[in-house]
Structure formats: structure tokens, C-alpha cells
Structure 1
Amino acid sequence: MANLVEKLIDQPLTPWLSGSGPEGEIVLSSRIRLARNLRCLPFPGRASAAQLGEITAELKEVPYDLQAEDGHEYAFVELDQLLPLARYVLVEKHIISPNHVAEPENRALIVRDDVSVSIMINEEDHLRLQCLEAGLNLNDALEKANAVDDIIEAKHDVAFMENMGYLTSCPTNIGTGLRASVMVHLPALSLTKQMGRIVAIATQLGLTVRGLYGEGTEAAGNIFQISNQVTLGRNEQDIISNLTSVVKQVVDKERMARRLLINDSPDALFDRVWRAYGVLRYAHSISAQESLALLSEVRLGVDLGVIDETPPDIFTKLLITTRPNFLQHLAGDVGMSQSESDKMRAKLVRATLQKT
């Protein structure tokens, strides 16, 4: 189990960020998250430390139940047994949430060896089960999530009412308890100043648009998460169908914006993406925010055939390895200053681009 966790922390690229799924040049990943709570125990926000410990103890056998069904290895990780840096690396890898690591005592994580399944224990709900797939692939993610949920519910009594559905800490999750989200890379819509309209339309359709790490975060590197807002009164397939339909429209608009850029102002586009590549290729100090912004523009250049010196997956690989905590982990948790971190990031990016 320890080796599996170390591997998950060390690896620079997770399978669901491979870019191999449907619409993979724009849709980075699809996620299904199910919120569940055990019956007769307070939700985490109202539970005592002893009750949180009781919940964690009850769920310790879940990895063995899951492994018996699908053959994958699962790890059960108590968050307070991980170093703080390791916890924040897991946040950067989208395996756990920032809220989950805020108070690590009596919090735990169950994670599959390929990271396509992870379960946060005692985050906002007793269980936050998430399944991830590459590209626009919500149906496969939902099928996997339901299979995992069935295994858990076969042995654990969860809070459910016939007239309301699953009971959750947040009222917007009551019902199916399902939050479906898609991570998209939208540099052309950002460059052509259309993202404000996209966000407004999504909101009108019952969806929400957030940043790279979800609620309350910015869209660093032109990466956005589009997800449903409400689950009560809606079945799972309706939620999935609505989100998939909207995402396909956003993908079409991004492609239109890309054609507009390359047809109407090719010189400006070529100059912009090659300048971004040049800075990344030769800079000796670069911040996390700037590197992600420039990597986004280089990926746009690659996707449009302007830059042919680097493969598309460089973007998703460096998306993880240039993050502050992962970089600190690579350095051996030596407590780098901001200046040292920026220099190491630039060196890592230069070395990665030189290998292509």
C-alpha cells in the first residue's frame, strides 16, 4: 500500500490526463463524483472527532471489497499519516480537494492504482467518490462510479430517503448526490474574449464554470471545469446528457475561435505561440502562473500545427510537474524559497522541451 501511494505522488502524468479520450485536444478529462453519507451518524461538519474516527474505521475494509471485484490494487491512506507536502501534491493531482487536507485528522483517502477511482473520507460528506476518464467520457465514468457505489452500499447503510434521494451536507447535492464535471482547455475562447458569454450561457442552463482546482479557484492556463449545479429532481442520465450537450457546444465554439485566430490573424498567432515557446525554452526563472499561461499558448500552437517541435502531452505532463508542491517534492522537500522554486521550474521546463 505504501508503495502505491508513493507511486501516485511521484508519477508526473496520470492516465486520465493522457489526452487519448474523445475530444482530447480540448477536453482534458471527465469526472463523476458521488456524495454519500452513512446513516445514523452526523455529517462531517457536525461530527465529533470520535465520530469521524468511527466513520473512518467503518470504511477501512472498502479497498478489499473493491479489489475483490475489479482486480485493481487499492490503497487506504490516513491523511494525517502523510507529510503535509505529500497531501498538497495529491491536491495538485486532483486526487483530493483543498478542503480535504485543511484538517487531516480523521480524514482518509481510498485510491485505485490507476487513479481513475478515488474516495475522500470525511470531506464535506462521509464519502466523496470520484471516477475520472480521459477526454469527454462521462458515461464510462458514471458506469464505473455506479459500480463502485453498488459495492459500498452492499455492505454499508447510507443515508437515503425515497422522496428526496441521497442526503448530503450541501442541499444542492441532495437527490442523486452526483456532480458531473468536465475539464476543458479553452485558450482561443479566452484570447477572443468570449469566455464571459460562455460562463453566462452555462449558468442559464444550470451549469457552473470554475477554475483549475474547482470551486473558488482561477482558470489558470485557460483551463476550466464545467459542472452541474443541482441534483435534486434530476436523474443521473439527464444530468450527464445536459452537460455533455453543452460541453460539445463549447468544444465547437473553441474550434471556431481557433479557426478565426489562424485565418484572420495568423501572423499575430504565430508570433504569440512562438514567443511563448521561446520563453519556456530559454527562461532561467519562471513563476507557476506564468509557466502555465505560456504552456497553454504552446499547446494551442501544437494543436493548430504551428509548432511541430513538441508533442501535445508536454502540456499535461508539465501541468503537474511545474506546480509548486510537486516541484518542492521533486527537490526533496528542502524548503525552497520562491526564487529557488522559479529557477528550478524553468530548468525543468527547459530540460523537458529539449528532450522533444
Structure 2
Amino acid sequence: MREMVERTPRWLSAEGKFPEMVISSRARVARNLEGFLFPGKLDGKLKKEVLKEVRKAALSLPEFKEALYFEISELSDLDRVFLAERHLISLDLLADGEGKGVIISRDETLSLMINEEDHIRLQAFAPGLNLEEVFEKVLRVEEKLGEMLNYAYREPYGFLTSCPTNTGTGLRLSVLLHLAGIVYSKQLEGLLRNLAKVKVSVRGLYGEGTNVEGNVFQISSLLSLGVSERETLESFRDVVEITLDFEKKSREILLENMKEALEDKIQRSLAILSSARLLSFKETAEYVSAVRLGIGIGKIFDIKVRTLNELLLFSQPAHLQKLFGKEMGPRERDEKRASYVRTKLKAE
């Protein structure tokens, strides 16, 4: 766990396409094992049997060579939240950790949750807009696991899952998008209506049921029944590209109609981040969003997008406490967060 605290995961490296607007791309597949009830109906003994079987298969793969493995029941509450903040486990995996586990590749581009809502939730991550990369990677690893594990599959439905909305391919694609232009120009409601029409969900920073922080939205595909994996990829990629075009046009409108106010917001945000003595995570995310927008519209040149990704990651409550090596109350966290942000920006 200490190794993870000291590094930034590759999917936040800002190496991909459109890193200022697209923070990361993710592909996830859900699978269950034949002969076992879904995790929500399994007793503790059988959950451990599934855990053991899936773990053995996964750790034999080259993609999980020298992987990190954690049993959720053995982690502290702080460590569980730390992994969730890193998007390596879901909030659902946090509760009632008995018989649950996670396997994480060294570079954190692969995560396999065991006994979450389904027996297997395999995720692949990449920086920027890299849907093809995560799509191919997650399906390649899923196929290798399927050679050792007997997946629950029924014609004409496809792969069986705990929630019917995942039945079929079990595939979900998602991107973390920074949509400050759309938010600032008050066009978010229209975007949400349009995305709902094409069966795409819009969620907060940590997925379903979470709040939007720093104008970062998780946009996810929804359909998995009656469509192929490739069809899901192509249709979702089209939606993402349309959304990015909308964001670009929103920024142009802002620059045309409220240039001075926008520049003032960007520079004020940078000034606060550079000098504040107390910062909540919500405030940090808001100010980082404005500075990120400033980079995107060519108003800030001396700060890297990767640095802003790191500020967003390590300013989260659990990351901050792990970084400083102790548990802290809200006030002390706000002090340490402001100190961390000042130091990070000064180093640029």
C-alpha cells in the first residue's frame, strides 16, 4: 500500500488524447462462475471458495505478474477508502468485506474485484481518450480467465449477471470528462437530456450515487444486451466525441461572451491554490477545475495537466492521510491539503 501512496497511477499521467478534457478511459466486464449463486446470495464459505478460485486463475496470468492482492476484510477503513479514491475498487466493495478481494496490476491499469455485485468485475484503465486500448485489454484478460474459469452463460441472453442491466456482454465503457465549459456556460441540463436519449449514464467522480467534484463527470455506456462488444465501443466513442465537441464550442462561447470574467476566475483560482492556508477537497477540486480550463483555452502555460491530476488525487481525504502517514480530522486535513497544494505548485 505504501508503494501506491508514493506514485501516481499511469491512468492519471495525462499521456493520452485530449488529457485536459479526458482524464481517463475505462473498460469493465462483469462475469459470474457457473454453479455458484450471485455474491449477494452466497454464504461466507462459498464466497471464500469463489475468491480462492478466481485469485488462483488471475495470478497465473502475465498481466497480473507481481500484482498486489488485498482481501477487503483485512484492510482498515482508511485503506479501503484509499483504494476507492483511486478507482481500483467500487464503493460497493467497501461494505461487508468478508470473502471479497481485489487484484491490482503493478501499474494500476488493471483491477479485478472479486465478489462485488458479481463474482468478477475486471477493469482496465488508460490515460486520456484511449477507449480502444482499454477495450482490447479487458477483453484479452477476460478471455484468458475464461480458459480457466467456467463462466455462467445462457443463450440467447449471454453472460449472466446479478443486475439484469449488465446481462449480455457484461461490458461497460466509461470516461472521466472535465466539462467546465459546459457547466460555466449553463448548458449541462441540455447535455444530460441528450445523453439520456442515447442510453448513456452521467455520474459523479466515483460513479453511481456520488457527487460531481471539480466539474469531472463519469460518462458510461449502458447497453449490453442485444449488442456486440464492438458495437458498444463504436457507439460510445461517437457519443464521447460529440460531447467533447460540445465542450469545445462551450469554451468558445465563454471566451466570446465573458472573456474577462472567465480569465478572472482562472487567475483567482490559481492564486488561491498557490497561497491558501486551508482548503477543503471540494474547494480544491473547484479551483483545480478552473486552472485546468485555463490550460485548455491557452491562458496558463507553466502548469502541467499531470500536476493537476496529482493535486486532485492526493487531495482526497484518504490519500492525504496516507501521504502524511496519520489519520486526521477535517480541520487538520484542510491545513495539510493547502500545504501540499502550495508545495506542489511551487515546484512547477
How far 1:298 sits from its partner (Å)? 0.8
Contact 2:58–2:145 under 8 Å retained in 1: no
User: Quick one: distance in 1 between partners of 2:236 and 2:66?
Assistant: 31
Contact 2:122–2:138 under 8 Å retained in 1: yes
User: Quick one: distance in 2 between partners of 1:83 and 1:141?
Assistant: 30
Contact 1:19–1:134 under 8 Å retained in 2: yes
Provide structure 1 residue ranges, at least 5 long, that are not aligned to the other structure. Answer: none
Q: Does 1:338 align with 2:330?
A: yes
The within-5 A match list for 1:15-164 is 15-67=10-62, 70=63, 72-164=65-157
Q: Does 1:278 align with 2:271?
A: yes
Identity %: 36
User: Quick one: distance in 2 between partners of 1:157 and 1:330?
Assistant: 41
Contact 1:12–1:321 under 8 Å retained in 2: no
User: Quick one: distance in 1 between partners of 2:211 and 2:64?
Assistant: 38
SS in 1 for 2:103: strand
User: Quick one: distance in 1 between partners of 2:139 and 2:173?
Assistant: 13
Q: Deviations over 1:58-96 (max 9, x none)?
A: 1221243212xx484323221222222111111001000
User: Quick one: distance in 1 between partners of 2:20 and 2:270?
Assistant: 18
User: Quick one: distance in 2 between partners of 1:246 and 1:227?
Assistant: 10
Q: 1:192 aligns to what? A: 185
Contact 2:26–2:131 under 8 Å retained in 1: yes
How far 1:229 sits from its partner (Å)? 1.6
SS in 2 for 1:31: strand
After TM superposition, what 4+ stretches of structure 1 lie above 3 angstroms from structure 2?
Answer: none
User: Quick one: distance in 2 between partners of 1:316 and 1:206?
Assistant: 29
Contact 1:66–1:74 under 8 Å retained in 2: no
Aligned residues: 348
User: Quick one: distance in 2 between partners of 1:163 and 1:245?
Assistant: 27
How far 1:12 sits from its partner (Å)? 4.4
Distance 1:158 1:71, change over 3 A: closer
**TM-score normalised to structure 2 length:** 0.97
Distance 1:189 1:82, change over 3 A: same
SS in 2 for 1:220: coil
How far 1:237 sits from its partner (Å)? 1.0
User: Quick one: distance in 1 between partners of 2:2 and 2:40?
Assistant: 30
Q: Does 1:256 align with 2:252?
A: no
How far 1:162 sits from its partner (Å)? 2.2
Q: Deviations over 1:247-296 (max 9, x none)?
A: 10111111111122223222111111000011111110011101101110
User: Quick one: distance in 2 between partners of 1:309 and 1:174?
Assistant: 47
Amino acid at match of 1:355: A
Amino acid at match of 2:338: A
Contact 2:59–2:65 under 8 Å retained in 1: no
Q: Deviations over 1:33-67 (max 9, x none)?
A: 00000001010111111111111111221243212
SS in 2 for 1:298: helix
User: Quick one: distance in 2 between partners of 1:13 and 1:185?
Assistant: 19
**TM-score normalised to structure 1 length:** 0.95
Contact 1:303–1:312 under 8 Å retained in 2: no
Contact 1:63–1:74 under 8 Å retained in 2: no
Contact 1:276–1:295 under 8 Å retained in 2: yes
Provide structure 2 residue ranges, at least 5 long, that are not aligned to the other structure. Answer: none
User: Quick one: distance in 1 between partners of 2:57 and 2:69?
Assistant: 8
User: Quick one: distance in 2 between partners of 1:222 and 1:137?
Assistant: 20
User: Quick one: distance in 2 between partners of 1:14 and 1:205?
Assistant: 31
